[in-house]
Amino acid sequence: MEKIQSIRKSKTIDYSDKRIERFWLENNTHSSQQTADYHTILIEAVSNSTNSVICIQSEQIDDSELIKALHKASKNNRIYILSNDKPLTLKNLAGCCLLRYGVKSIGSFILINAGMQDSAGYLFTAPFLESSFASSNIMLVLDADQTKTLFRFFCNAFWNKASHEIIDDFNSETSVEASPLDFLPNINDFCCKDYVKKECTIPFEQALVMIPELRKGSLIDYTTATNSTILIQFGNIDEQTLAEITKNKNELYALKNIFAQFVLTENGKSFLVPKPYISEADSIFALELNDTQKAMLIQNIRSCIDNPAYRYLHTGKRSEYAGCTIYFTSDTKKAVHLKAQSDIELAAVSCTQLFERHVFENQEPQFQDDGVSCSIRYSWEVQPFFLPNGAKKARLYDEWEAIEQSYKAFCDMLKQNIDEAGTRNITERLKRFFLGKNQKFTQYKTKLNELETQQLSTLEKIERKNIINTVNEIRQNISSDKKDIDNEIKKAAIDDTIADLEHKKSIKEKEFDNLQKTLQNKLREKEDEIHALQQELAGLEKEMKAAAEEAGKEVVDGKEQKNNG
């Protein structure tokens, strides 16, 4: 009989029609944003001012050229500077500019002769720092009305809210005294906190939106946006909030860096917000844009959308994006590279019994999709089973066979646990969470399929130890992930129960209000009846009294007639 030799086998499986769901597509040919030289514009505006009042607000100021220009301009102008903390970089301006600090202001602007015919104003979307001017921030030229409104906002903060001022000695902290005039806060304009919150929480549609950071608690509620185009900074994205936004037919794009936030609508009001996340202590404003500013920002965002760094897609075939890089989250460290074709060397198939040649040559391992390739060419070796002449099966083989069966049964049990964990009934809001877990489960299962093909009896002791350690590590990870899943489902159930109880409470409160109103109506009816009876009783008493008086009069008249008779 001819001795059977080991053979090499290969098989190619096509995965090109497999679909990928909810992912960011990376654009490898994005262009950089071009911005104007705002730094020079601001310095020239300050330097060219004469006999003017210049008001400056910024959370921080450290730009040396701007500070030099302010020092020079202070000889011919009155300059007021407001910052959040003590401005150490402005030490040389003490004595020539009035410096105040100790506020919770946001946004940077320079106002020149606000309220005058030659007024000018500039709003910058970052603090006046050297690093800010070197980045892709945005500056808007303010119109006369905006300059006047921001001037009132500045005066109220400068004179009424600042806690300290520096007049001559920079090292001497002086508490501020009462303001020289009454500066009233803004009411019903873009510097009024209540007005800003009201206008920024109105649902909007068919808008252009730029967001530096997407998470809950934003001044603008982006989850109400519908049919809008939204540009986000990649990496600063809360996945749950992203899932809510994508339900409303919004197109999403992302850049690596965004320094401004604004909402541009066709018919409604358009706003630029200097800072998206604020506390109640912050002094805020959201600049309501005029047509010129709106057109400039529309051009800015459209140029970014035409060639973004990333684009969010709901679904697509794997073959459509072969050679591309995608992300299932906005974590830049978790890139997935899709391949047109891959070669995978599988573990050898070791036959455990003697087969006919055609059966032997058709032995195949388990083929596992790597999740990123359009087609995979699998290669493996089929190793025959044969015994030496006169050999007898030793008891050790039975012991090893029992161990092998126990090992494979344990791997199968782990895969069954994975399947059970991955098929839980979940609500829509947990799908994103389960997507991440299922990706991990797929990795576990792939590894188990690979490990299950290992013949422990053929390996060295150190190799067997490493495999057992790996399997135990996978078991611990599965157990941990299942606990995470149970906790998330319990949490979701509790949230649903709370929402149901709140709904029932609302219904009962309405029923109670209606019952109260009914009782009050009945009480008023009874009071009206009592009042009517009281009036009727008073009328009867009046009639009885009149009758009694009439009767008494008749008696008296009768006596007089008798006496006269």
**pLDDT, tens digit, 9 for 90 and up, residues 443-483:** 777 877 777 777 776 778 888 788 888 888 888 887 777 77
Q: Are strands 120-124 and 139-142 parallel, antiparallel or unpaired?
A: antiparallel
Confidence of residue 565 (pLDDT cuts 50, 70, 90): low
- Check residue 3 and give its pLDDT: 61
**197 and 169 in one domain?**
no
3-state DSSP assignment of residue 281: coil
Which residues have CB under 8 Å from 343's CB, separation 6+?
376, 377, 379
Scanning the structure block, which residue is given the tokens 């390996």? 459
**pLDDT, tens digit, 9 for 90 and up, residues 51-80:** 999 999 998 999 999 999 999 999 999 999
- The CA–CA distances, whole Å, from 498 to 350, 431, 491, 523 equal 57, 21, 10, 37
Tell which residue, 427, 563, 421, 414, has the closest CA to residue 475.
414
pLDDT average, residue stretch 278-288: 70
**224 and 160 in one domain?**
no
Flag whether 369 is in a domain. Answer: no
Express as a percent the part of the chain with pLDDT over 70. 87
**299 and 263 in one domain?**
yes
Could you say which of 308, 341, 356 is where a domain stops? Answer: 308
Flag whether 274 is in a domain. Answer: yes
- Check residue 87 and give its pLDDT: 85
- What's the CA gap between 211 and 301, in Å, rounded? 11
Could you say which of 278, 308, 338 is where a domain stops? Answer: 308
Our measurement of the distance from residue 157's CA atom to the centroid of its chain's CA atoms, rounded to an integer in Å, reads 30
Could you say which of 308, 325, 359 is where a domain stops? Answer: 308
Flag whether 483 is in a domain. Answer: yes
Higher pLDDT, residue 188 or 230: 230
- What's the CA gap between 80 and 389, in Å, rounded? 103
**217 and 98 in one domain?**
no
Q: Which domain range does residue 88 map to?
A: 38-175
Flag whether 183 is in a domain. Answer: no
Which CATH number characterizes residue 167's domain? Answer: 3.30.870.10
**pLDDT, tens digit, 9 for 90 and up, residues 175-185:** 887 666 667 77
Domain count across the chain: 3
Q: Is residue 541 scored above 60 in pLDDT?
A: yes
- Check residue 390 and give its pLDDT: 62
pLDDT average, residue stretch 215-237: 82
DSSP classification of residue 112: E
**163 and 50 in one domain?**
yes
Would you list the DSSP string of 256-277? S----EEEE-SSS--EEES-S-
- Check residue 396 and give its pLDDT: 66
**206 and 166 in one domain?**
no
Q: Is residue 33 scored above 60 in pLDDT?
A: no
The residues facing 417 across adjacent strands are none
Flag whether 519 is in a domain. Answer: yes
Express as a percent the part of the chain with pLDDT over 90. 29
- What's the CA gap between 302 and 258, in Å, rounded? 14
- Check residue 97 and give its pLDDT: 93
Q: Are strands 174-175 and 375-383 parallel, antiparallel or unpaired?
A: unpaired
Q: What's the first-to-final CA gap in the chain, in angstroms?
A: 173
**399 and 301 in one domain?**
no
Higher pLDDT, residue 218 or 176: 176
* Residue 477 burial (CB count, 10 A): 15
- Check residue 303 and give its pLDDT: 86
Q: What sign has the CA pseudo-torsion 171, 172, 175, 179?
A: negative
Q: Is residue 346 scored above 80 in pLDDT?
A: yes
Flag whether 273 is in a domain. Answer: yes
CA dihedral 47, 52, 57, 62 (to 10 degrees): 30
- What's the CA gap between 286 and 272, in Å, rounded? 6
**pLDDT, tens digit, 9 for 90 and up, residues 435-454:** 676 777 777 778 777 777 77
Structure tokens at 139: 């500056």
- Check residue 430 and give its pLDDT: 60
- The CA–CA distances, whole Å, from 231 to 147, 163, 273, 398, 551 equal 28, 38, 15, 65, 99
**205 and 77 in one domain?**
no
**252 and 207 in one domain?**
yes
Flag whether 19 is in a domain. Answer: no
**133 and 102 in one domain?**
yes
* Residue 519 burial (CB count, 10 A): 10
- Check residue 425 and give its pLDDT: 55
Q: What is the mean pLDDT of the chain?
A: 83
What is the H or E stretch that residue 378 is in?
A: strand 375-383
Q: Is residue 1 scored above 50 in pLDDT?
A: no
- What's the CA gap between 7 and 363, in Å, rounded? 10
- What's the CA gap between 452 and 411, in Å, rounded? 7
**pLDDT, tens digit, 9 for 90 and up, residues 387-431:** 666 656 666 666 667 777 777 777 777 777 777 766 665 555 566
Tell which residue, 209, 69, 64, 68, has the closest CA to residue 133.
64
- Check residue 73 and give its pLDDT: 95
The residues facing 317 across adjacent strands are 19
**413 and 517 in one domain?**
yes
Flag whether 424 is in a domain. Answer: yes
**pLDDT, tens digit, 9 for 90 and up, residues 81-130:** 999 888 889 999 998 999 999 888 778 999 999 989 999 999 998 899 99
The residues facing 344 across adjacent strands are 378
Would you list the DSSP string of 423-477? T----GGGHHHHHHHHHHHHHHHHHHHHHHT--GGGS-HHHHHHHHHHHHHHHHH
**111 and 215 in one domain?**
no
3-state DSSP assignment of residue 302: helix
